[in-house]
Amino acid sequence: MNRTRLITTMAVFVAIGTVTAQLLWFPAGVARAYPVQHAVNVMAAVLLGPGPAVGIAFMIGLLRNMLGLGTLLAFPGGMVGALLAGYLYRLVGKTGWAAVGEVIGSGVIGALIAVPIANLLMGDEAGALVFIPPFLISSIAGAFIGWFVVSRVKKIYRKGED
């Protein structure tokens, strides 16, 4: 994939993830669920790879925080899932494994990383069991959406590389 196409595709994913943060979210326990972030992670992991997927997740988290649409928990919740989704897809080559990587990365590992961030930087004394259920709800919903969309458009997108 040429550099211009990569950067353009990344920018589109960042825009989708940022704009939908205001439109498509729901309360999930102590956190807000942003399933489109997780859908974008799966799509970017499959179409672009782990590095660009992590970069997209970081930019979405940064923009959401700058716009007052998110918290610092957007970083571990998004970036770890994007990384694991990309690596599992690269390792196995199946879109479903990217979705599994997103759920494990964001829903479990990201939630565990969120605990010290919440304690140190946000002054929240919450434990791991407080973050895992809402992170799992959000990541499962988004991973399913991402898996569904990317399984339908992957062939079309790859044809454009010829």
Residue 96: is its pLDDT beyond 70? yes
More confident residue, 142 or 27: 142
pLDDT at 4 over 90: yes
Indicate the domain borders of the chain: 3-159
pTM for the full predicted model? 0.88
Q: Is the pLDDT of residue 116 over 90?
A: no
Amino acid 24: pLDDT: 80
The end-to-end CA distance of the chain, in Å, is: 9
Q: What topology is assigned to 3-159 in CATH?
A: Arp2/3 complex 21 kDa subunit ARPC3 (1.10.1760)
Q: Which residue has the tokens 């959000």?
A: 138
- Distance between CA 31 and CA 22 in Å, rounded? 15
Report residue 143 CA to chain centroid gap. Answer: 8
DSSP 30-63: TEEE-HHHHHHHHHHHHHH-HHHHHHHHHHHHHH
22-71 confidence digits (pLDDT tens): 788 777 766 677 889 999 999 999 999 999 999 999 999 999 889 988 77
